[in-house]
Chain A
Amino acid sequence: MDFIQDNLLTVTVFFPLLAAFIILLLPEDEKTLIRRLTLALSLIPLALVMVMWFNYDRAAADLQFVVQADWFPAIGSSFHMGIDGISLPMFLLTAILTPLSILASFGIENRVKMFMFLFLVMETAMLGLFAAFDLIIFFIFWEFGLIPMYFLIKLWGGADRDYASFKFFVYTMAGSLGLLLSIQVMGLATGTFDIIELMDKWVALDGGTLAGTGLSVSLVKNVAFWAFMLAFAIKIPIWPFHTWLPDAHTQAPTAGSMILAGVLLKLGAYGFLRLVIPLFPEQAHTAAFVLAWLGMLSIVMGGFAAFGQWDFKRLVAYSSINHMGFVVLGIAVYAYVAGLPGSSEALTNDAILATSGAVFQMFNHGLSAAAMFFLVGVIYERAHTRDLRRFGGIWTILPVYGAILIFTSLASLGLPCLNGFVSEFMVVRGSWNVFTVQLALSMVGLLMTGAYILKGLGTVLHGPTKKEWLGLKDMTLREHLVIWPLMGLMLSLGIWPQWLVVFINDTVTKILG
């Protein structure tokens, strides 16, 4: 036990990888055993995260469970990991969604072992990224998460999976290359890759030329900043870098979509919070307006495009762009205020609210998007179609499914008493003074959120019963087991959000205050 306690973070991050190799040892045809064992093993990281949750010192709100070990001293990179109030909710989200996604994919019949293996590998990548405090480590986990998702889409996806998986891959790679290059330049310039150290050394660099290159510092900083921006903007995705997302989601298997929307999109937003703004405060301040406009466009155009869909899954995919727009808006406020010399107390408070709201919205969107994709999968497995024109009258046939779909959709819509509303309110409140115009325009997108959610509900559930759907069976116990934890979390966070928000708020206050 001592070993686990002393190395809690390392164990949590790498346990899924170990589990993945355990699964790899099982014979391929023991499908039931593979599924059950994967599920059981994926619950252990959740338990470990719970231990971390209760041992996390909220009042201190600093970096905790720190691991720092020599790793690649020649270039100044060390194995530096830690958890703060921004990472912790993301840890919780990852650890909750992974077992649920695995449970959701019990229906997969071909290459079960490979599927489960990839899933567990991906969990390590995601957890590692959320804990990384060294740029090289960060980048390794970043790329590490990309490959399993590529294969999940490519091997278990829908009809157009080749196009979708490749588009996903190339888009993300296009961002990653600039990221890698910039990381190298930063290491070259400062002699370290440690994020905490860089926040002093790299940020302090100004004027003159960069040692060893002869380039002007401000130029390099600008280029590196935009490379970072692009990489994370593609991942979130921010309009207009979003067109990979609807394709990837529509083709991905249900569990793939759950993790993609639930966690992978958050990697991009997390990159902004952890790297872009702390490492490039001046550039981020200048670019905050760009970010706010793009956030607004994500909300508005994402909302309209979602409303224009007739494929249920594509509609939900576009809803992610719409919702993540609020995260971007919150991040824009953070960027604006963090780089503002001599910010006023009121403005700092706005930024704290907006940033906490953005992190909370990441968590909330993770829950509701995963739940929505799961429910789309439930109906797809039965009806073998996602065409909204063909559905109708499902509520009469599947009353329980209907009620659950309504609940989840309303969480996605941002109905008060459910989680999405609280975080959207926080972001809206936080951005009001800084980006009034952009915020006011994004209300059009918020209106469209209602429109597309009701379009989905109305076309699927309402209307007279259609004969072709009469034989459909309502949700199974396994499906209930997937959705109820998510619904419970959504309701609890809507009614009593502070159990999570205090963690976020403390750290954000410490960073900004």
Chain B
Amino acid sequence: MTEQTLQLLTWLIPAFPLFSFFLIMLFTKHNKTLSWLLSWTAIIGSWVMGWIVAFDMFGRDIDSLAEHPVGIRSAVDWLPFGDYAKGLWLQMGVAVDPLTAVMLFAIPFIIAMIFIYSVGYHNYGQPPGQVRGVPNHGQEEPLLSRFFAFMSLFAGGMLTLVVADNLLLLFVGWEIMGFCSYALIGFWYARNYDDPKKITPRKAGVKAFITTRIADVVMLLGIVYFYSVFGTLNFSEALSAHGLEAAATAVGPAMLGVMALLLFTGTVGKSAQWPLHVWLPDAMEGPTPVSAVIHAAAMVSAGVYMIVRIFPLIAVGMEGNPNVGLIIGGIGAFTAFMAATIAVAQNDVKGVLAYSTISQLGYMVAAIGIGAYVAAAFHLITHAFFKALLFLGSGSIIHGMEHGAGHVHDHHTDPQDMRNMGGLAKRMPKTFWTFVIGGFALSGFPILTAGFWSKDEILADAYFQGTNGDAFAMVVFITLAIAALLTAFYTMRQISLTFLGEPRTPLAEHAHESNNYMTIPLILLSIFAVGAGWAGIPEEFPILGPLVNNNFFHHYVGATIEHALSGLEEAGLLAHGLETLPFNWFPLMTSLVVALGGLFLGWWVYGRNPLKSGEKDPLIRPLNVLYPFLQNKWYWDELYQFLFINPTIYFSEVIAYEVMDKGIIDGTLHLIARSVYAFGDYVKTFEKRVISDGVDWVKDQVLAMAKEFRQLQTGKIQEYTLVSMLIAVALVVVVLAINFGWLNQLFTIIP
């Protein structure tokens, strides 16, 4: 494969889906079949091209990649500034380094699976539904073309972000996804619920967009700060040892920490970290599996991907300003823990997964906060696989339940509520087994699953630093370990409530396995949910380590950063480069205990004696008042409503508009007008005595105007007339003053 071909392919990876968006919107929107075929073609094309590029990169020599990580690059002049003949252009381009290659291996494949699945989920081939903007259960989605158009745009945005060689292009993809997420969450824009407290899809879409935008505007500041300090937005130029050294000399390492935090704020929004996590659970209002998988596998990964991408900056920033590490690690660990506790008490099958996503993203952010770059990247990839699998699985469950609902004509029982399920294992075997694989991967089931290897690595990193005198890393370690226990517990709870025991409602009784469009992606994804972890088994791991003996992920992705960080160490910006972890039994045993312990506890509470119809959740009694606290998500939504949303509406409608514009500003104008009106009357009566002949014409003009406008019956218009009169008089005075030099005399008196 020649260099040019690879460059072209890299450009085409995001271009294909973007192009299909335009084609569907402009030409094929009236033909559903053509529309989804078009978007399939585009995404499968991106998948194939992504793998060609990725495998080409995998095949390259690691040592030379470590020195020159960007294996493929291509850029064009995009925006001129200043004397661009001298090369002052802002360039837009694509670049592939080992991290990008790994992402290109995972992301297009996962998105392609989602596309395939969606056709089945929207009941393609069934009689078409008649009502737009609401789910048509069991019928073909009437807006299928629009759905695939937005999905294609979304895929284009995500792939743009992955191949971007600079922060601005990354941000472009980032924002496109933000919009698509708004559009797809609110896809059923006409849907209303009987319960007025339940958030509608359209409101959830707005909530997602605005919440992430809070972070995005701060991130925009980070981008311009980055640009102004480094003089470039290109990752490989700016984040080289040379670039960082110059930047640190210019503004100091502590300010680089501030820059890192500004950019990190974007991650807090996009990857749903506390305190901006509130949008993600409501994002589940979108079409069940698909929008959900966006908010689990692809889009939310973007935030973590960005901080992984700019890790050298964060590393230098943390060195210069220790608070940076505390903030990033603290937010990550707290989010991981908080979301895990909430997930324990959720009854919506997607709600559990939503909080588990927040929690797992917290792991990755915490890993970055303690400097565990490779572990974060590794968990990012494995999580993308198994979380996509779990979400598609939950979509399949809901689809099966809706099938049951259609069968018994019951449209009031919530098909997403796990309390209404039970016994689905027999009815939906493919969904069951793939879900179990995904769930075990999420719990970190030892050895077999991908989640174990990546999560273990984060814990090992935290423990290693914790035992080396970093008390904060120890706190992170303990928090994450507890969160891992909770993760395994709620996963087992979910599997038990959903699949085990006997059906608790007629819906579950008549549930039905989903079609092949849906089950085949599940099976394919479950292969990776297990297999992806095998790329990252440490060599020192007993038995398996020497057996597999390559720890591909670590060497491949780690080599680059190792080289970069050692360069920074030489430059004196880091105390030490990336350290290779010695093998330690303690974190490994911790991983084993929390994963197996959590699964066992979950089985003990929920699986041993599956819930019967009408029974309450066994946790309600022991948790007591804590249960509603968890179930209501720590009341963050209520708090924000009170603290931010209501005041904003009040400020906008009352302060900014009624009080400021209508009251103070217009009021002042009207007041001036009224007083001038009075003055004008005075002028009119005593004009001869007051105003000299020299300005008679002004008076005449003014009076003529006043007369004319008085005929209009609006009082305010007269006031405005008089404002202009006052101004005219004032100006005449000024002219006279200038002419006769009064003003100068006045100013010589007043110093």
Chain A residues with a Cβ under 8 A of chain B: 162-163, 166-167, 170, 173-174, 177-178, 181, 185, 209, 213-216, 219-220, 223, 240, 242-243, 246, 301, 304-309, 348-350, 352-353, 356, 393, 395-396, 399, 403, 406, 410, 415-417, 421-422, 425-426, 428-429, 432-433, 439-440, 443-444, 446-448, 450-451, 454, 458, 461-465, 496-498, 501-502, 505, 509, 513
Contacts and interface: CB of A to CB of B under 8 A. Distances in A.
B720 A177 contact: no
Contact of A498 (B78, B186, B658, B712): B78
Q: Which 4 A-B pairs have the closest CB atoms?
A: A308-B652, A308-B653, A304-B656, A416-B172
Contact of B79 (A242, A446, A451, A497): A497
A235 B727 CA distance: 17
Interface in B275-296: none
27 contacts: A163-B714, A177-B728, A209-B744, A213-B739, A215-B744, A219-B744, A243-B661, A304-B651, A306-B652, A307-B648, A308-B657, A393-B133, A395-B133, A396-B133, A416-B172, A416-B176, A425-B168, A426-B81, A428-B221, A446-B217, A451-B210, A462-B202, A498-B78, A498-B80, A502-B80, A505-B82, A509-B82
Given A308-B654, A464-B192, A162 B221 contact: no
Nearest to B142: A396
B738 interface: yes
B81 A174 contact: no
Contacts of B218: 443
A513 B724 CA distance: 42
Contacts of A174: 723-724, 727
Interface string B179-193: 100110010011010
Contacts of A496: 78
A429 B669 contact: no
B738 A185 contact: yes
A243 B329 CA distance: 48
Given A170-B723, A215-B738, A240-B665, A498 B190 contact: no
A181 B661 contact: no
A446 B214 CA distance: 9
Contacts of A432: 221, 224-225, 228
A348 B206 CA distance: 40
B717 A417 contact: no
A440 B221 contact: yes
A181 B717 contact: no
A463 B190 contact: yes
B186 A162 contact: no
B82 A214 contact: no
A112 B370 CA distance: 71
B228 A429 contact: yes
B199 interface: no
A451 B202 CA distance: 13
B214 A447 contact: yes
A429 B88 CA distance: 15
Contact of B83 (A243, A395, A448, A513): A513
B652 to A, nearest CB: 3
Given A214-B744, A393-B190, A395-B189, A443 B220 contact: yes
Contacts of B651: 304, 308
B60 interface: no
B716 interface: yes
B227 interface: yes
B607 to A, nearest CB: 42
Given A185-B738, A497-B79, A219 B189 contact: no
Contacts of A440: 221
B720 A170 contact: yes
A177 B210 CA distance: 44
A454 B211 CA distance: 12
A178 B78 contact: no
Contact of B189 (A422, A439, A462): A462
A305 B662 CA distance: 11
B171 interface: yes
Contacts of B654: 308
A450 B656 CA distance: 17
Given A213-B738, A396-B133, A458-B206, A305 B661 contact: yes
Contact of A216 (B25, B190, B658, B744): B744
A300 to B, nearest CB: 9
Given A306-B652, A446-B217, 15 more contacts: A174-B724, A305-B660, A307-B653, A308-B649, A349-B88, A350-B228, A395-B133, A406-B183, A421-B175, A446-B220, A448-B652, A462-B189, A464-B192, A496-B78, A498-B79
Nearest to B217: A443
A450 B221 contact: no
A389 to B, nearest CB: 13
A178 B652 CA distance: 33
Nearest to B728: A177
B305 to A, nearest CB: 17
B201 to A, nearest CB: 9
Contact of A428 (B88, B220, B712): B220
